[in-house]
Amino acid sequence: MSFSDYYSGVQHIGIPTKDLATAEAFWTKLGFNKTGDFPVGNVIFMKRDNLVIETWQQDEVAGQPGAINHISMDTTDADAAFAAAKAEGFKLIDSEVQHLAFWEKGIKFFNVEGPDAVIVEFCEIVK
């Protein structure tokens, strides 16, 4: 299978913030609801319809247009997607599939670098 066969669309957009409470209030005011809260890492996920924003507290942020950290694509098999991305010569940021204890059973993900240093994450929410 081709690498592009391993993902179905945008899972979330990652945007760092200097103040998590302010970011949460902003997204709430725009009609988003908090769907995930992960104190380890100060990360929250805010959702409205089919759009999910991942935001986390970070000391240094760009603070200007273009400050989005990454766009995450939804995959059901991060390991196979990683192998396909590697075989097709994509510029891998990660040397292997990464794991985090988000959601009930965790996530598996990896990142590729696109033109102009754009980061595209491929993320599997483990079922």
pLDDT tens readout for residues 62-121? 888 788 999 999 999 999 999 999 999 999 999 999 999 999 999 999 999 997 788 999
Q: Is the pTM of this model over 0.85?
A: yes
d(CA 8, CA 47): 18
Which residue stretches of the chain are H helix? Answer: 20-29, 78-87
How many other CB atoms are found less than 10 A from the CB of residue 73? 20
